[in-house]
Amino acid sequence: MYSDLLPQSPMTYIPAMMRRLRELDDASYLQGLLAYHAAPTLAGIKPASLVCPDGAGRDLEPALAACAERLGALFGVGVKSLGRRASVTLILIYRSELLRSALAEREAAALLRNSGYAAPPGDVPGLLAQLRQKCSSADFPHEIGVFLGYPAADVRIFMAGGEIRPGRDAAALAWRAFGDLGPARCATRRFRSAKLLAARLLAAGADLLTLAERLRQSG
């Protein structure tokens, strides 16, 4: 349907998407930006995505509530502001059931307990409230990795200052993987595929309903 409007090379999808988004009003711009960055979560292959939108000189705060309602209705996701750090708004887009399962996993639950989280593993609102409090502290809460669906073992080693062994292509992965790279590479490919699909459709002018349908099919 949109193939005649698409850029010829995947390398041009993202710049073309950004040019089109910049032509939109604040709410539509923010919706598109969140949909792109959180595409793996919208597709149902990642429990949560952290988005730090580039305001590009815009005041996006007033548009966030409307965007959250719209994305929630179309994609069945929650949208939560985790506050601001260094003038950047941190926005978490999440699927409650996937997130509950990720945080209830034994190693993830233990990591959160050791990081000072008092809410039980199944209490997603309580854990998110505590995460928001931690995001306002001086030290960034790197345990957020388990909220984003990354393996608790990798998050724990990263928090302890673990170093990637020389020669590992860690920079090409979605997170710092210290163990078997196979699952990390597979997940990274799926995440990038979802984001590329979102960029391609947004660049072509697709609306969010179309994007929701295509991402559900791709997931």
Q: What is the pLDDT of residues 171-180, one digit of tens each?
A: 578 888 887 7
Alpha-carbon distances of 111 from 15, 116, 128, 156, rounded to whole Å: 38, 9, 15, 7
55 has a pLDDT exceeding 80? no
- What does the pLDDT look like over 66-105, one tens digit per residue? 899 999 998 999 999 998 887 788 999 999 999 999 999 9
Considering only CA atoms, which of 218, 216, 210 is closest in space to residue 32?
210
- Give the percent of the chain with pLDDT over 90: 62
Considering only CA atoms, which of 100, 82, 92, 94 is closest in space to residue 44?
94
Q: Are 39 and 195 in contact (CB under 8 A)?
A: yes
Q: In 10 A of CB 75, how many CB atoms?
A: 24
First to last CA, the chain: 20
What is the model's pLDDT at position 3?
39
